[in-house]
Copies of this chain bind each other. A is one copy, B any other.
Amino acid sequence: MPKESNGRTRIHDVARAAGVAIKTVSRALNNEPNVRQDTRERILETVKRLNYHPSLSARGLAGRRSYLIGLIYENPSANYLVDVQHGAMARCREGRFQLLMHQVSGRGEELERDVIGLIDQTGVDGLIVTAPLCQSNELIRTLDRREIPFVRMAPNKMRHRTPYADMDDEGAAYEMTAYLIGLGHRRIGFISGHPEHFASGQRLNGYRKALKAHRIAYRASYVRQGFFIFESGLDAARQLLAMPEPPTAIFASNDDMAAGVLMAAHEMGIAVPDQLSVAGFDDTYIARTVWPRLTTVHQPSYDLAYTAADLLLRVLSSQPAPKPVRLPYRLVCRASTGLTDDSDSHS
């Protein structure tokens, strides 16, 4: 005899209302086979009518899992993070999992301790590991040792049994560079990303390959080190634009740095895109809020995270090990790039 002390609906209430045993409700809810179609529908309808939500704790206790998955990240730009978070969350909700966001700051051993702490304290069933954390061999080894399922998000160089979701950073950077070349640009500056991100190298590769394919000499002085943050883009652009023969276009490895380039241009009275074309990467919110709006590569952050979560959930349900997924990018041409009337261009 159920007591209504709490006001909370329990599986028992649903079972009674639908005229079945609690186990049958459980089966219907968990998409298990061997429930007759009409029974299943009746139960699901009752569930909705009573606004029933199974308790994670009880499910976790009985099923020996926590229905919690952790997403660990380091220090991404806010816009990127929010996209990722919501993508992963969306998939978690569908699977009736909850997402625990977990920012780590340390390095090396401290990082490992931090992540182990998360695992031990929360009992997460699995982890989504974003770049650049998923490039740490130590971390990977630690997770392996603990036998905790995880997936990786964003490119990475390591071979490993775990699945991942990524995109073709090199191809995207190649295309963007080719696009700039197509606009007539020959002196194209490049601001690279944080050196610890594998994607940074990939994007630089794409830039270099595009130059090469179009027989434009690579000039090291046109490439500046950035760190994926606004200020680093600003600094790098100031330097590039102060050169005796400055670039007519600057391709920054993410939107935040591209916004920094725009600021440098504004400060120096350089018109964009008339005197300087600027391209970014990621297509986060910032690309649409700066002036002029940024031409950039759309990185499907939301979908990447959704996919990563999906892969993890598959691993957890011990379906056949899913394959890595590569999602498509897309060039988004806005107002920050244009034809160059640069007459110095040789070759």
Q: Which residues of B have CB within 8 Å of A120?
A: 8-9, 51-53, 55
Q: How many copies does the complex hold?
A: 2
| Per-position binary interface string of chain A over residues 235-275, scored 1 when its CB falls under 8 Å from any chain B CB and 0 otherwise | 00000000000000000000010011011001100000000
Q: How near does chain B come to A6, taking the closest CB pair, in angstroms?
A: 7
B53 & A116 in contact (Cβ 8 Å cutoff) = yes
Residues of B contacting A113 in the complex (Cβ-Cβ under 8 angstroms): 51
Q: A171: which B residues are within 8 A, CB to CB?
A: none
| CB of A139, distance to nearest CB on chain B (Å) | 15
Residues of B within 8 A of A83 (CB): 78
Taking the closest CB of chain B, its distance from the CB of A58, in whole angstroms, is 5
CA distance A152 to B78 in the complex (A): 23
Q: How far is the CA of A52 from the CA of B292 in the complex (A)?
A: 52
Instruction: Please tell me if the beta carbons of B58 and A57 are within 8 angstroms of each other in the complex.
Output: yes
Residue in B146, B262, B286, B288 whose CB lies within 8 Å of A291: B262
Q: Does A46 contact B (CB under 8 A)?
A: no
Are B99 and A54 in contact, CB atoms less than 8 angstroms apart? no
Q: Please, what's the 1-or-0 string for A42-72, where 1 marks a CB less than 8 Å from any CB in chain B?
A: 0000000001111111111100101010000
What's the least CB distance linking A147 to chain B, in Å?
9
Q: Which residues of B contact A159 (CB under 8 A)?
A: none
CB atoms of B101 and A89 under 8 A apart: yes
**CB-CB nearest in chain B for A85:** B101
Known: A7-B146, A266-B291, A290-B289. Is A55-B51 also a contact (CB below 8 A)?
no
Residues of B within 8 A of A7 (CB): 145-146
Instruction: Tell me the A residues contacting B by CB distance below 8 Å.
Output: 6-9, 51-61, 64, 66, 68, 78-79, 81-83, 85-86, 89, 96, 98-101, 103, 113, 116-117, 120-123, 145-146, 230, 256, 259-260, 262-263, 266-267, 285-286, 288-292
